[in-house]
């Protein structure tokens, strides 16, 4: 099952995340006791949505042969604690020789990325302790 592994030692909040042969560091800001050595967990979630949207838009534009030069996707979210809802907000900038219909279609395609589909669906999380040998 292992796809991503997060490991933390005794250093407050600094966490090493590994996927295949790629390693990144996650941490918390100094204001909450971390050292600001990497993305916060919420920034990692936002970055997953931003990257997936940008990649999906790029793939679609390439398939269509459209003049898209660059995609910039900014993502943030607001969490309502009383209703337990989260609202992600994406701002997408499309740079290139595109008409308004192409821009609208690329916006729609960005909403079809796999991460956005997962976040819009019902999410269940199952946790279990790993049995030590």
CATH of the domain at 84: 3.30.300.20
Q: What is the pLDDT of residue 57?
A: 98
Based on the domain organization, do 47 and 85 belong to the same domain? yes
Q: Tell whether 76 is covered by a domain.
A: yes
Based on the domain organization, do 28 and 47 belong to the same domain? no
Q: What is the pLDDT of residue 1?
A: 64
pLDDT in tens, 78-92: 999 999 899 999 999
Based on the domain organization, do 28 and 62 belong to the same domain? no
Based on the domain organization, do 63 and 25 belong to the same domain? no
Based on the domain organization, do 31 and 47 belong to the same domain? no
Q: Tell whether 131 is covered by a domain.
A: no
Q: Tell whether 125 is covered by a domain.
A: no
Q: What is the pLDDT of residue 132?
A: 80
Query: Are 29 and 36 a contacting pair, CB within 8 Å?
Result: yes
- Which domain range does residue 76 map to? 41-120
What percent of the chain stands above pLDDT 70? 99
Based on the domain organization, do 4 and 20 belong to the same domain? yes
Based on the domain organization, do 46 and 109 belong to the same domain? yes
Structural domains counted in the chain:
2
What does the alpha-carbon distance between residue 113 and residue 68 come to, in Å, rounded to a whole number?
18
């Amino acid at each position: 099952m292992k796809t991503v592994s997060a490991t933390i030692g005794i250093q407050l909040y600094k966490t090493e995340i590994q996927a295949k042969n790629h390693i990144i560091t996650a941490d918390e800001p100094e204001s909450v006791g971390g050292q600001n050595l990497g993305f916060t967990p919420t920034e990692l979630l936002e970055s997953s949505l931003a990257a997936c949207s940008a990649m999906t838009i790029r793939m679609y534009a390439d398939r269509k042969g459209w003049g898209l030069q660059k995609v910039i996707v900014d993502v943030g979210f607001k969490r309502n604690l009383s209703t337990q809802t989260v609202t992600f907000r994406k701002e997408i900038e499309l740079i290139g020789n595109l008409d308004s219909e192409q821009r609208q279609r690329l916006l729609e395609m960005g909403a079809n990325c796999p991460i956005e589909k997962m976040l819009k669906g019902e999410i269940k999380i199952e946790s279990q302790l790993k049995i030590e040998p």
